[in-house]
Amino acid sequence: MSLAPPPFDPELASVLDSLKEVLTPGLALEDIDGLRNGPAAAALAEIDFTMDGAFDVEHRTVPGPQDAPDIPLLICRPTTPAPPHPRPVVYYVHGGGMVIGDNRSGVTVPLGWAKELDAVVVSVGYRLAPEHPHPAPVEDVYAGLVWTAQHTAELGADAERIVIAGTSAGGGLAAALALLSRDRQGPRVIGQLLMCPMLDDRNDTPSGHQMTGVGIWDRTANETGWTALLGASRGGPDVSPYAAPARAEDLTGLPPAFLDVGSTETFRDEVVTYADRLWQAGGSAELHVWPGGFHSFAGFAPQARLSQSALAAQLDWLRRLLGDSEG
């Protein structure tokens, strides 16, 4: 089997080349502190989360899991007059390989959807590994969802129209959240939007091997992220599906899913397999594999033609999902 990766989309390849100074493929545990305090983190302070006045932005701290710290939520509500019916909610989980990022990371993507859909965005912060290994991150994310579902009236939102969404590690946590909420009979969510989700701690797919040393998040970085979360149990027989959703044996009874991934990234094969298993379980799933896309390309290069196609597909799925839920 050839380990050569598929070709990058030419437009995205030039963007990827420009990112080399900031993001390199490999990540070691000793690199985490530098990333947390690097240029990408500093850039978050410059983002206008009001989207030129389209949203009221609130930073709120809410109760975390039992015997655990409170968790931060970034709540963005449209400034347009309230519609006749409560607004839908996009509950967003940020990426960062389980080791970096906060509830401001990546929020411009769901805010873009919300501007078109007149929706509320709630972005959750969670404790990061390795200081806070599993189950801390997913329990924080679950606690934030419970709070959101219980306070939708206060937010002018609809408890029956909550969509969970996440990118990369946040996509994996969103998938785990769907499993956890199903199994605990927790808040009902009507859909899960999983963008290049981090699903499988075993880190042994053909696409993972193909992307060793290539792109943004390669097999080495992936091992670092999963080891930070799971320690010595990573890749072993006893990993919880609430940590690595690819480990779940039962994928029945889950909300409709949208999954997308680039053809030229580590997570390609595990995402395709997860979508296939959702179909095998009788579930609803829409899968997009974007040719030549690197990891999280739509977030890093939103103006690229392939990114525009990906963002349009996400928005179209949300329109259909929310339209169906109104009926």
The pLDDT score that the predictor gives to residue 257 is 98
User: pLDDT tens digits, residue range 224-253?
Assistant: 999 999 999 999 999 999 999 999 999 999
- 201-211, pLDDT tens digit by residue? 999 999 999 99
SS3 at position 228: helix
Q: Which of 21-25, 34-38, 44-48, 182-186 has the lowest mean pLDDT?
A: 21-25
End-to-end CA distance of the chain: 49
Separation in Å, CA 215 to CA 125, 133, 201: 26, 26, 19
Mean pLDDT of all residues in 136-150:
98
Model confidence at 21: pLDDT above 80: no
Query: What percent of the chain lies above the pLDDT cut of 90?
Result: 88
The beta-carbon contacts of 319-327 under 8 Å, at least 24 apart in sequence, are 319/117, 321/163, 321/190, 321/191, 321/256, 322/88, 322/117, 322/119, 322/161, 322/163, 322/190, 325/88, 325/160, 325/161, 325/190, 326/85, 326/161
Task: Render pLDDT for 94-138 as a digit per residue (tens, 0 to 9).
Answer: 999 999 999 999 999 999 999 999 999 999 999 999 999 999 999
What's the farthest any 2 CA atoms get from each other in the chain?
58
pTM over 0.85: yes
Q: What single-letter DSSP state applies at residue 159?
A: E
Average pLDDT over every residue of 25-34: 87
Quick one: how far is CA 303 from the chain centroid?
20
The string of pLDDT tens digits covering residues 254-292 is: 999 999 999 999 999 999 999 999 999 999 999 999 999
Question: What is the residue type of 121?
Answer: V
Are 133 and 231 contacting, i.e. CB atoms less than 8 angstroms apart?
yes
Confidence at residue 25, expressed as pLDDT on a 0 to 100 scale: 75
With b meaning 16 or more CB within 10 Å and e meaning fewer, what string describes 174-188? bbbbbbbbbeeeebe
**pLDDT per position as a tens digit, 151-166:** 999 999 999 999 999 9
The mean per-residue pLDDT over the stretch 66-73 comes to 97
326 pLDDT band, cuts 50/70/90, is low
User: Region 309-323: what's the mean pLDDT?
Assistant: 97
Provide the mean pLDDT of the chain: 95
| Residue 31 vs residues 34, 221, 225, 290: alpha-carbon distances, Å | 5, 10, 11, 30
Q: How confident is the model at residue 37 (pLDDT cuts 50, 70, 90)?
A: confident
Indicate the pLDDT class of residue 186, thresholds 50, 70 and 90.
Answer: very high
Mean pLDDT of 30-43: 84
Q: At a CB cut-off of 8 Å and minimum separation 6, what does 179 contact?
A: 241, 242, 245, 248, 254
The tokens of 298 are what? 């739509």
| pLDDT over 50 at 327, yes or no | no
